[in-house]
Amino acid sequence: MTDTVLTRVANRTGVITLDRPKALNSLSLDMVRALSATLLQWKDDAGIDAVVITSSSEKALCAGGDIRFFHEMGQVGPTGGSALLEDFFTEEYALNHLIHFYPKPYIAVMDGVVMGGGMGIAQGGPDCGLRIVTDRTRMAMPEVNIGLFPDVGGSHFLSHAPGQLGQYLGLTGLTIGAADALYVGLADVFVPGAELAGLHALIDTTPGAGLPAAIRAYAAQFAGQLGPSELQQQRGVVDAHFGAAGVASIMASLGRDENPFAQKALKAMRQRSPLMMCVTHQLLLRGASLGVADCLRMERNLVRRNFEHGEVLEGVRALVIDKDNQPKWNPPALEDVTQEMVARFFEPVWPDYAHPLRHLS
């Protein structure tokens, strides 16, 4: 399909290997299209009973979308290439939907960095997904750090995390490891990185239909090696602060808590886009009552609004392009964010019949 998305079939299991190591497998439009085409083909292939997605590098399954591409395409007119940006998000979210409802076991080896768009291609739904984490897993939804919001279905899987853990992860953008991922419900089993060779041998030698059960049995022997979950230990702190009515109230509550965990969260939030933290807070509140398809349609609407506003372009400029780490957020302070600014992001871009993801169900 493409030299960055490699495919093979082993013992009735389709294996997808992402192979763009220098970019930590950041997703390009070509990669999204290759993944979609492969999964659609295998969905109806009677010779394939399960799918595995993995990486050629232990550094990352996928670090997210190609944000340099977002920055470049976001600054040009429709004839200059921004239509490719529209295509990217429409096709990426359709891919996320396909994965969530895949009719065969969908097994993600979440070794190394799994962030943003990487979460979107790893979070198979409850009827198909088996998500494997390792001691090298570094998981996050860091979009608010670059002036975006948790997308690729994040409005669904974060809003369904226990208590206020989804708000914590979405608003801070902080990274978690294997134990926290399992506790939050964003992973299913743990396999040490040193034991992945055995896991891949198991994948090659086990018939696809029996692969999920075989992997769970293989992982069971390592359950005792997993350290404690910090989020489990700090659950009371998270729920107490992040259950507040809005971002300003959350930050004020954190500011009154000398707990180092609370102060770390507050420090992270002070660096984020004030506007996009408020949008993210509202997004997760709304996502809690929506199905996957409606969450993705809402996110697709917000992406267009975000690029219209320009917050993500400034975030990528400051953190990735110029690397001055001095984003000029608009507005610059939380007290300047109005309810009208936030509401604008949720105003429909398209009528329902013309929404680019109208066919998702």
What per-residue confidence (pLDDT) applies to 6? 98
The pLDDT of residue 165 is above 60: yes
Q: Is 148 exposed, middle or buried (0-12, 13-18, 19+ CB in 10 A)?
A: buried
Is the distance from CB of 12 to CB of 209 less than 8 angstroms?
A: yes
Is the distance from CB of 33 to CB of 40 less than 8 angstroms?
A: no
pLDDT, one tens digit per residue, over 323-361 is 999 999 999 999 999 999 999 999 999 999 999 999 999
pLDDT, one tens digit per residue, over 62-104 is 999 887 777 777 676 554 457 788 899 999 999 999 999 999 9
Could you give the C-alpha distances from 41 to 46, 98, 339, in angstroms and in order? Answer: 10, 12, 45
Phi/psi zone of residue 215: left (φ > 0), alpha (ψ -120 to 50 degrees), beta?
alpha
> Can you say whether the dihedral through the CA atoms of 345, 347, 349, 354 is positive or negative?
positive
Range 43-71 average pLDDT: 92
Place of tokens 């489990």: 232
Pair type for strands 106-110 and 50-55: parallel
Q: How far apart are CA 302 and CA 112, in angstroms?
A: 29
Instruction: Find the helix or strand (DSSP H, E) in which 313 lies.
Output: helix 311-316
The pLDDT of residue 151 is above 80: yes
Q: How far apart are CA 160 and CA 181, in angstroms?
A: 13
Is the distance from CB of 257 to CB of 323 less than 8 angstroms?
A: no
Q: What is the pTM of this model?
A: 0.96
Structure tokens at 291: 């199905």
Place of tokens 């419900």: 185
Mean pLDDT over all residues of the chain? 95
Q: How far apart are CA 7 and CA 134, in angstroms?
A: 23
